[in-house]
Amino acid sequence: MLRKVRSFMRLRNIPGADDAIANSEYCIQNPKEQKGTWQSVFPSAQPLHIEIGMGKGRFLMDMAASHPDINYLGIERYSSVLLRALQKMELNPLPNLRFVCMDATEVTEVFEKGEVARIYLNFSDPWPKDRHAKRRLTSAQFLERYDQILASDGHLEFKTDNQDLFTFSLEEIPAAGWHLDACTRDLHHDAVLNEGNIMTEYEEKFSSKGNPICKLIASR
């Protein structure tokens, strides 16, 4: 069983969050209708990178600002969390970034085969109980889903400070038929993998406490 080292993001219902998402120009409604045509929601046709479980959106906003030649889509299940990202976006609109409120289990219904060039997983919920292992975003079940939407030359990037979850992920990747391209258990002291690294809110918080950050890159 994975060790639960902390409570994950405390979620609370925010009145009006659902309405704000439904009325936001930055949040794509009915994402299943966009399957195979995601380039049409952006001003320019460019490689599509997605983050599953994007939280409050800081990572993707920084990525989109740094890489205007790439289109980014943030996926977040919880409306109360997505609302925070929308509020940030309204203050600093980015043409190459959009959001979707949906569950990660639905990615194969939302993206066509090969439509996604890169997948980011950052500080995902560790789901520490063994019976919940299949819910972890790096489980074999999710890797199978990613395999169906990722481009042939695409790859997956995963960061966490949870050592047990990282070990689990390292075991799942080859078992699911994926190839481990690179990994480190101390990202911020790895000169190669840390080059150009953009931190998430969680990454900044936990690294400031001395927690080493783990990262892996995988492909098929």
Question: pLDDT tens digits for 124-169?
Answer: 999 999 999 999 999 999 999 999 999 999 999 999 999 999 999 9
Q: Could you tell me the CA-to-CA distances from 100 to 31, 66, 172, 213 in Å, in that order?
A: 7, 21, 27, 27
- The confidence score (pLDDT) of residue 131 equals 96
125 included as an active-site residue? yes
**Residue 104 — pLDDT band, cuts 50, 70, 90?**
very high
Give 78-121 as a DSSP string: -HHHHHHHHHHHHHS--TTEEEEE--GGGHHHHS-TT-EEEEEE
Total tally of structural domains belonging to the chain: 1
C-alpha to C-alpha distance for 147 and 166, rounded to whole angstroms? 20
In a domain, 2, yes or no: no
- What is the CATH number for 199? 3.40.50.150
C-beta of residue 79 within 8 angstroms of C-beta of residue 101: yes
12 occurs within a structural domain: no
Q: What confidence tier does 9 reach under pLDDT thresholds 50, 70, 90?
A: very low
11: DSSP letter:
P
Q: Which domain holds residue 27?
A: 17-219
pLDDT of residue 12: 60
Q: Report if residue 103 sits inside a domain.
A: yes
Q: Domain for residue 5, yes or no?
A: no
Which entry of 125, 147, 164, 190 is annotated as an active-site residue? 125
Q: Which pair of structure tokens corresponds to residue 89?
A: 């976006």
Tens digit of pLDDT for each residue in 195-210? 999 999 999 999 999 9
